[in-house]
Amino acid sequence: MAENPGQNAAEVRFAGVTKTFNTGLTAISKLDLDIRAGEFLTLLGPSGSGKTTALNLLAGFQAPTTGQILVDGNDISGLPPHKRNIGVVFQHYALFPHMTVRENVSYPLKQRRVGKAEMARQVDDALRMVSLQAYGDRLPRQLSGGQQQRVAVARAIVFRPRLLLMDEPLGALDRKLREAVQLELKRIHRDLGATIVFVTHDQDEALVMSDRIAIFDAGKIQQIGTAEELYDRPATQFVAQFLGESNIFTGSLRRHGDTCSIDSPDGVIRSGTVADTLAGDDAAIVVRPERCRLFERGKAPDDWNSVDAWVSDIVYLGALRKVLLTLASGETAVVICQPDVEIPAGPEVTLGFPVSAARTVTAQWN
Which tens digits make up the pLDDT trace of 197-211?
A: 999 988 989 998 999
Look at residues 288, 295, 309, 290 and name the one whose alpha carbon lies nearest to residue 342: 295
Same domain, 163 and 271: no
Same domain, 145 and 276: no
CA distance 326 to 310: 5
Phi, psi of 182 (to 5 degrees): -55, -50
Domain membership of residue 29 (yes or no) is yes
Q: What is the pLDDT of residues 46-66, one digit of tens each?
A: 999 999 999 999 999 999 999
Q: Find the length of the chain.
A: 366
Domain membership of residue 237 (yes or no) is no
The alpha-helical segments, DSSP class H, found in the chain are 51-59, 101-111, 116-129, 145-157, 175-192, 203-209, 227-232, 237-242
Domain edge (last residue) among 189, 211, 232: 232
Pairing mode, strands 87-89 and 163-167: parallel
Residue 174: the pLDDT is 80
Same domain, 226 and 252: no
Same domain, 167 and 265: no
CA distance 212 to 250: 28
CA distance 88 to 197: 10
CA distance 55 to 45: 13
Domain membership of residue 149 (yes or no) is yes
Please give the residue range of the domain that contains residue 348.
245-361
Phi, psi of 271 (to 5 degrees): -130, 145
pTM: 0.88
Look at residues 43, 302, 264, 268 and name the one whose alpha carbon lies nearest to residue 165: 43
DSSP secondary structure, 186-209, as one string: HHHHHHH--EEEEEES-HHHHHHH
Domain edge (last residue) among 171, 203, 232: 232
Residue 94: the pLDDT is 83
CA distance 147 to 133: 11
- Does residue 51 sit in helix, strand or coil? helix
Give the mean pLDDT per block of 10 residues along the chain (366 residues): 62 98 95 97 94 96 97 95 90 87 95 93 93 94 90 92 91 79 86 93 90 96 95 91 92 86 94 71 91 95 96 93 96 94 90 95 65
Domain membership of residue 259 (yes or no) is yes
DSSP secondary structure, 285-332, as one string: EEE-GGG-EEEETT-S-TTEEEEEEEEEEEEE-SS-EEEEEEETTS-E
Helix axes 116-129, 101-111, angle to 10 degrees: 130
Q: Report the CATH number that the domain containing residue 336 is assigned in CATH.
A: 2.40.50.100
Domain membership of residue 240 (yes or no) is no
Split into its structural domains, the chain has a count of 2
Residue 187: the pLDDT is 86
Domain edge (last residue) among 232, 261, 293: 232
Residue 18: the pLDDT is 98
CB 60 within 8 A of CB 81: yes
CB 72 within 8 A of CB 38: no
CB 198 within 8 A of CB 166: yes
Same domain, 131 and 217: yes
Residue 102: the pLDDT is 96
Same domain, 154 and 72: yes
Phi, psi of 176 (to 5 degrees): -65, -45
Phi, psi of 46 (to 5 degrees): -70, 170
CA distance 38 to 8: 8
CA distance 15 to 19: 12
Same domain, 10 and 126: yes
Q: What is the pLDDT of residues 5-27, one digit of tens each?
A: 456 899 999 999 999 999 999 99
CA distance 309 to 352: 10
Same domain, 141 and 168: yes
